[in-house]
Structures are given as C-alpha cells and as structure tokens.
Chain A
Amino acid sequence: MGSDTRTVGQTEAKAVVPRGSRNVLSRGLATVVAATGLLFLLSELVASSSVTRGTLLTMFPFASALAIAGLGQTLVVMQGGIDLSIAGGLSLYVVIATKYPAGVNSRLWPAIGIAVGAAIIAGLVNGFLIGRMRLNPIVATLGTNALLFGAVLWYSAGIPTTTTARLSRVGGGVWLGIPIPVYIAVVTTALVTVVIKLTPVGRRFEGVGANATSAFTAGIRVRRYAGGAYVWAQLLYCLAAIVHASIVNQPTAYEGNNYLLPSVAAVVLGGTSLLGGRGNLVATAVAALFLSQLDQFVLALGVSYAARTLVQAGALAVGVAIYTIDWRVVARRAFPRRASTLAPT
C-alpha cells in the first residue's frame, strides 16, 4: 500500500508508520486488546465495584452500541474521511425509533424501517457531497449534521419519548448470562469484518481508501466506494441508535452527541489511521469496550467529575501517541548511544 501518489503532506504523515500494513493491523488489535485486559485487571485491583456483575450488565450494552457506531466511523475513516454527522444521525434514528411507535409495539418495525430509510438518505447526501462533489468531509458532514438535528427538532420538538416495551426487552434482555446487545455487536462486527476483509468488494473498498489514484488506474469506481462508505456508516449508526434506544428507557432527542467523540476515539485507539487505508474493525469494537469500561472505572473510583474527564482525555492522548509518534526516533534522540539496543514499541 504505497503512499507515493498521495499529496506530500500525507506522504510525510504516513511515513511515521513505516511498517507493513499487515503489521499495523495486528499491532492495533494487539495493543487495544492488551490495554483492555490491563484496564480490567486494574479495575479488579483498584475499583472492584466496576467489575461486579450488575455494573458489567450496564456497561456491556453501552459498549455494544458504541462498538457498532464505531464500526460505521471506521468505514468512513478508512476512506480518509471523518463523519461528524454521527451526532445528528444517531439522534434522529433514536427519536424515530421511540417517537414513531410511541409505546405501541406493533409500530416498532415500521419505525425501524423509517429510520433505515432516513439513514440511507443521510448517507447518500454525505456520499454525494464528499464522493462526487469532492467536498471536505469535515465541512460536508458538519452541514449534514445541522440538517439532521433540524430534522430531530422538527420531528420531536426536542421531547423525549419512552421506549416501547418490546424494544426495551431487547436492550435489557440477557441470554446465557450475556446481554443481548453484545450478541448484536459481535455479529455486526463479524459481518462487517468478513465483508471488508474477505470479499472482492471489501478488498476494493480498502484499496480505494489506501490509494485512490492507484485504485482508479486499476479500474475501480473510486467515487462510488468513497461515497458508499457514508451510506454504510449511517446504516450502522442507525443500528447503534436502535440498540441505544433499547438500553435507555427514555432517551433524549440529543443522544447522538454522546457518540461523536467516543466513536472517533474508538477508531483511533483501534489503530486505524485517520489518513485512510486499512481499517482495524475488530480493534475498533474492542476499543469501544475499553472506552466504556474506562467510563465505569473512573465512576467507580469516585473521583470528581473534573478528574473523570481528565482521565478519559489522558487515555485518548496516550492511545493516539502510541500510533502516531515514532517511538524509535524519540528514543534515538533521547538516548543517542543506546538507541540501537532499544526495541521498538
């Protein structure tokens, strides 16, 4: 996956991850799995109340919704983009999934159908603006986000609606001791991973993200793949929204705001480069678990709200630093003589 045909700035930025892409994939997953394992160990040692069964039964469903939303964000980031409209999109789908049925179980499936329809439209708007019109993803998705929030306020007037009983049973349900949203997240992650990693369409999708020019010369319809990522992302946000609505009994009209930063954080902690290319989908899902447990861990520590926010920001900074800083260069500069004996991190 050469980066020689990218712009100079991108080439320089990519050069900080000099290892082969296969290596990057395994490194991302290994790092985030190790970090999550360490976090659970630390939770057990320092704040054992954050790993009791009751707490885990609360944490896992939230982690599942974040993992699904994170997968959507990963698809977009793999195309070198970023999707800020996740906040408005997810809020809209939550509102549709709760307000349209308004407590009537039989209206749940039509509501989900409408939410999926809205997701496809939102994705097509993003895809058209970015894939075809070549607008900057930050600007385009920020605009779409405002439109989606407009739709949220138009439809709900900002008023929360209680989730239908049928949907609540899914979110609160437990099968074989594991919350049902976890199964949904695992199946979704597996499906998306199989499609991206093992099918020709998925390989082409990755190829376009890694090097659009090479993909174009190879005869791949680059714009369709770049734009399509936004449609699939919105569909995944829609699924995340339905899971979220099932967990929270009376979600507000602004639930998507809680996903904007964490979804990007999950992508980054999972080791997917923000410049596009190969995506670590499983790692993103594990990173979602990491972030959710980190939330629960700092809550259990009983530290002040300010300290909680700082711990979360610190974890993100460390995560970004692991992937974006070339520690061998840092080590060489800090210890010029011994540099050759230091192992790369």
Chain B
Amino acid sequence: MLIVALGCIAVMVSATSSSAHTDKAPSWCGPKKITLGLTDGFGGNSWRLVTTASARSEAAKCPSVSSLTYADGQGNTQKAISDIQGMVAKGVNALVVFPDAGKAILPALTSAYKAGVITVPYRVTPGGKAGVNYNVFIDTPFVNAGKDWGNWIKQVLPNGGNVLMLSGPQGNSQGVEENKGLHQVLDPTHKYKFIGAQPFEVTNWDPALTQKVLSADIAKYSKIDVIVSDFGPSLVGALPEFTKSHRSIPALATSDGNVLGCFWQKNHAKNPTFKLFTVSTQNDHARLAIDWAVALATGGKKPSTTHFPALTFENSVTGKPHPVECQASLPGDIYLSAELPAKVQAKLVKK
C-alpha cells in the first residue's frame, strides 16, 4: 500500500510539473466535494495494479475528490458484492466498479444506485440498464480491436494466409467479440483461412496451457501465417516453440506489454516473418470511468462518450503510431501504452 501511495504521490508531483491538470482542474471536475469508492472483482495481477493506480492518478487530478477508497474482491463474487455494500454503508458519493462477475453484481449495483450513490460500472457488462440499475456503463468495443488486427493482417499478408486465434476461457465475451471483428474484416476478401479451434483456441490466458496449445498447432499446421491473441505477454513463453520446430515465428497481432516488446526486439532479426502489431491493453479505461463518476457527483462536465476506444499502439512495419517499444531495464509486467509513467508502473509491480 505504501508503494501504491508513493506511486500516486509521484504521479501527482510529475503532473504538477509537467501538465496543467493541477493548475486548472479538468472540465469533468465540478465544485462539489465528494468521496469516491473503487471496487475491483479481482486485483491480483500487474494489469489490475496498473489499472487501479491509473484510476487513482485520474481522481487525484480533481481537487474536489477528498478521498478514494479501494476494495479488492480477490476473485470472490460474494466479497465483491459485500465490498460494494460496504462502500454504500460508508457513505461514498460515487462508486466505480469493475464487475468481473458480470450479472451477479447487478443487484448490488442497483441497490447502490437506488441508495443515491453515483454508480459507474466499467469494462465487463453487468447487464441491466443505465438510469435504472446504475448511472452509466463505460464499455469498450472489443469488436474494434478485432477489426484493427484484421486490417493490419490485410496489409502484411495481402495475398491471404492462415490465421490462428488464441484467447482466454471458452466462450469469453472479449474473445468472441474480437473474433467477430476479425471475420468482419477478413471474410469479404475470401483469402484468409481460420485454423485451429473456432472461434479461438482456449488458453485460459495461462502461459503453460498456451505453450501446449501452440506446440500442438505448430505440429498440426505446417503453415501458420499470423497469430492473433488478446493477451500478448502470455505468448512470450510459447513463441519459442516455433524455434524448437525450426520454423520462423509468424506475424503477431495482439495487445501490448513490455515483455513482448523486448521479446520482439531480441528475436525479430532471426525470424524474418515475425512482424508485430499491438493494440493498447487499455489500463486507461479506468480513467474514463473515474471521469464520469466524478463529473456526475461533483457537478462537472460529462465526458463526451461512454465508450473507451480500442487504440492501436505498436506497428513493427510502419512504426506508426509507435514502433515496438521495450524498456529492458524495467520489469516485463508493465504496459507502455498506459498513461501512467513506466517508472511509476515499475515501482508498483516491484512492490
């Protein structure tokens, strides 16, 4: 916790020196003093740590937010529900929720909303309706990430090829949506063949299982032209399977992570087909949710959208919007696409 606090102070200090945020409060920050609550369904990985720290640093931009209380559901739905109820009982004015358990969280959100707390779930859909069960839901169109990957594949493999997609648990909505986006872009060309299990190979986002799945596919398909994955860093252990089979690592369309960028820099020279394209892992999604909650509670100006966009990040072919980035001296588990400075993230994950 101390490190988290230090991290936030560092962010606040750097914000003071480098931007106008503290000179003039952002437009979403109104005059009314409030206390803010933030609950997570599961907080135990580096992505969540960076996301939570991003939320804190966003809230720190608004002087009307007098305190921010955080609770980690630790993957336990019951705890996530009681965390929300606890926040309401404590009397927070606004509550931002990462509803990992989806619809199971809806009753708790509804009761918070009905108790007069500004309630803003984000990222995972809890069902229900804005204005009935909560104030507003801040979503992200996963289908657009699929479209971005598809468009890049068309550029690097204009003559078509075999596409292998990997995602998390069977049927997870993120993977299903991304797959839809890919098909929308690639199917009309009739040049691309989707190989492996459909809609995607199940890896549970687990590096060991990813390794087994990928080695099975390498043996099975003599030609894999591009791999699409929604969790790039988990592939770092699995991609050397191509080298073991004396094959060049194929093109990769995925999400960013420092460990992946460094892996690409180390290996792309020996693997001529290894081109890399990443979308942002979206740690800053939490910032938009905070903006909305604070705007509604303090009487600030509402942000213009409730959708957090899928942003492209690295492209090894064009270098736009960014070339592949690697900060070798910093830990692998940080996300250079996030607004939170890399060094602050490094302190967070090193604890």
Contact = CB atoms under 8 A, between A and B. Distances in A.
Interface string B199-234: 000100011110111011011100000000000011
B202 A305 contact: yes
Interface in A258-310: 258, 295-296, 299-300, 302, 304-306
Contacts of A253: 44-45
B216 A255 contact: no
B237 A49 contact: no
Interface string B27-59: 000000000000000011110110000000000
A251 interface: yes
B332 A302 contact: no
B219 A161 contact: no
A160 B215 CA distance: 22
A58 B244 contact: yes
Contacts of B245: 52-54
Contact residue range for chain A? 35 or more
Given A58-B211, A58-B215, A157-B351, A250 B237 contact: yes
Contacts of B215: 54-55, 57-59, 296
Nearest to B169: A305
Contacts of B259: 162, 250
A141 interface: no
Contacts, number: 105
B6 interface: no
Nearest to A295: B212
A57 B244 contact: yes
A202 interface: no
Contacts of A55: 215-216, 218-219
Helix, strand, loop or mixed for chain A's interface? helix
A252 B47 CA distance: 13
B349 A299 contact: no
Contact of A304 (B43, B197, B233, B331): B197
A248 B237 contact: yes
B196 interface: yes
Contacts of B333: 159-161
A129 B212 CA distance: 37
A302 B197 contact: yes
A145 interface: no
A49 B220 contact: yes
Residue of B45, B241, B333, B349 with most chain A CB atoms under a 10 A cut-off: B45
Given A54-B218, A54-B245, A162-B332, A252 B207 contact: yes
A140 to B, nearest CB: 23
B236 interface: yes
B14 interface: no
Given A62-B208, A249-B236, A258-B206, A158 B44 contact: yes
A185 to B, nearest CB: 17
Contacts of A158: 43-45, 48
Given A159-B333, A161-B331, A250 B212 contact: no
A249 B267 CA distance: 15
B17 interface: no
A315 interface: no
28 contacts: A49-B216, A49-B220, A50-B216, A52-B219, A54-B245, A58-B212, A59-B212, A62-B208, A102-B331, A158-B43, A158-B44, A159-B49, A159-B333, A160-B207, A162-B332, A172-B240, A247-B211, A251-B208, A253-B44, A258-B209, A296-B212, A296-B216, A299-B212, A302-B196, A302-B220, A304-B197, A305-B197, A306-B170
